[in-house]
Amino acid sequence: MTLPTPLHIAFGPVSGHWTGGVEYLRLVRRAFAALPPEERPRTGVLTWDAANADRIAGDLADEAIPVPEGSVGIPLGQRALNRLHRSLNVPVPTLSATEAALLRFGADVVFGTQVFTDVHRVPLLGWIPDFQYAHVPEAYDRVGVHAVASSAQAVGERAARIVMSSETVKKDLQRLFPQFAHKARVVRFVSPVPEGIYERDPGWVCAEYHLPERFFYIPNQFWAHKNHHLVLEALTLDPARSAGVVVVCTGNPHDGRNPTFFGELLVHISRAGLRDRMVILGYVPRAHVLPLMRQSVSLLQPSRFEGWNVGIEEAKSLGKGVLASDIAVHLEQDPPGGVYFNVNDAQDLSRKMAQVWEERGPGPDPMLEERARAQLIERTRAFARAFIAAAREAVEEGR
């Protein structure tokens, strides 16, 4: 059987402040790398900064893809645009800079959350990560809610297909924008982990950050809906307080919608006298996240809302236990041996933390890790193939 010609997929720009978005694109590229060579798409990264396109594409590289693959820079300025038109033998008035750059790359489809109104010859594989504004509207002002709702509507109108990471998000689309529901394709992402992660005992992170041997780990951005305050309250309550539970938090402290949140959280931790029990490391190197997770007693995911949580997927890939809030998407992710608590109940969280603290030790569980490693390659390939299938549908629809 002859395989289809590998696709050329251009990724739309993603803000560096949205670490979840950047990480998602890394996950997709690493999943592609797990496929046999003949199945792998060629990927590019659109950027407004044409001069630094290689560096920006490199920011999406990691252990699996150390060299940028076909980075795409959108050239700005009429002279550069004219050169592109001539090289493509297309009259100047008919192509925008964006479309010319995509065609020069050979893009079959462009993937992302952004609609390019000046692109007509390359179909959009839209991406709506979630409908957070409909669940936690307090995280936005009125202008912000309108902006994200309008963006989702624009993607729905323009995209040939829409990638969603969960059935939970798809149900939101059906409720909020039923006219676009037929375009949705659920592609549950998988978090690959580098094989080298298992070569070293993760206990080194305790010395690196002066941490105790036992701790829960929260790798969340410091945004209000991530529910750090509920964790702090739970630590003040028995049985978690008397058990001596420790929680370590890492993540991007910046939230443009709520710029004072991180500082206020630090103040509340200090006032509660819990700086040694709720340890805030802030942003740490990506290479330290998985060792912190392996060393932990359990991943703790208290979020009030997610589209599909990266941390839980990483824990599943590592064979690490999870204590998570009981929101629909966490139940859908269904990590092996997952323990759930009421997302609004600090006392319930205190009880569940004490339970897991008592039952599980720090560091890796060899049996769970071995099982996770054995399943990971096929899970990753299934994710990559589901994404490519949605992209091919978008290409066919766009013809």
- Work out the widest C-alpha separation in the chain, in whole angstroms: 74
Q: Which residue has the tokens 């979840």?
A: 20
Tell me which residue of 225, 223, 269, 267 sits closest to 246, measured CA to CA: 269
Element (H, E) at 86: helix 78-88
- Which domains are delineated in the chain? 8-190+379-398 (3.40.50.2000), 203-363 (3.40.50.2000)
Element (H, E) at 61: none
3-class DSSP assignment, residue 22: helix
CA angle 227, 310, 239 (to 5 degrees): 40
For residues 343 and 391, give the distance between their C-alpha atoms in angstroms, rounded to a whole number. Answer: 35
pLDDT of residue 78: 45
Q: CB pairs under 8 A, 24+ apart, for 259-263? A: 261/222, 261/223, 261/224, 262/222
93-110: string of b/e by CB count within 10 Å (b at 16+)? eebebbbbbbbebebbbb
Residue 146 confidence class, pLDDT cut points 50, 70, 90: confident
pLDDT at 365 over 50: yes
Find the length of the chain.
Answer: 399
**pLDDT tens across 50-59, in order?**
555 555 555 5
**pLDDT tens across 244-278, in order?**
999 999 999 988 888 899 999 999 999 999 999 99
For residues 126 and 110, give the distance between their C-alpha atoms in angstroms, rounded to a whole number. Answer: 8
3-class DSSP assignment, residue 249: strand
Q: Looking at residues 118-137, what average pLDDT do you find?
A: 92
**pLDDT tens across 196-206, in order?**
899 999 999 99
pLDDT at 64 over 70: no
**Tokens representing 293?**
């997770």
Least confident window among 38-42, 66-70, 161-165, 372-376? 66-70
Q: What is the pTM of this model?
A: 0.84
Tell me which residue of 79, 77, 75 sits closest to 100, measured CA to CA: 75
pLDDT of residue 105: 84
